[in-house]
Structure 1
């Protein structure tokens, strides 16, 4: 996608109405939304890994005698527990992680829709994104779509 060194281009006949965003403002808004989406996706991926770890530990502990000692990190301190004590706590944590992942997934979908609407509203095209044939003919290789905002992100 885009990085902070994005190149912005706009069509030559563009006149900005009152309250409209400039190409630079549009690209800044796009980058902000994109970073927010990336942050959500990164957090969701991190929690998915944690969920997998919880599942692995739970599956392992289910096959161990309940009276066996195990150790769990609590606030940076290693605490001795029995399997019988730690298993319900791990299962509760796993459920909470699943709920958070579901919430993040919904937020990610919402942010994706918001980003798509923003791209469409300000006619932002990403470098390498396929242009419509009519737009390609109008721009003649300039990489710019010739409608109102015509912003290009590289």
Structure 2
């Protein structure tokens, strides 16, 4: 199997804890069955999601995600093959937005769409590095894999 990594951003409609809980439960069930792993960063103005799995499965899931009416403007930021998963144990992990991410003003001014592949991937690499016991899972080729945060 060729492992594919896809990261997209979108803008939520009506973001609340109930909607987020439903998204996560559905994703965890579906993704576990499809051997898709990843994480979702959510806040009122931004969804940022990383998906990893077989190319056909990830592409099919992204097509379904694009049609979901709980968000708009889904835009692929990174789409690439990967040597290993960043989140191998998570069918769908939820990470609240971090203070070191883009501000709402930066998002509204297009910072997400203007970000480079390395800048986007570094967000998820940093999430991995912040988790106890997961540091060894960071691919050596990823940005920030050798830095301390």
TM-score, normalised by the number of residues in structure 2? 0.22
**Bigger radius of gyration:** 1
Comparing both chains, which one has the higher relative contact order based on Cα–Cα distances under 8 Å and sequence gaps of 6 or more? Answer: 1
Q: Which has the higher strand share?
A: 2
Q: Which has the higher helix share?
A: 1
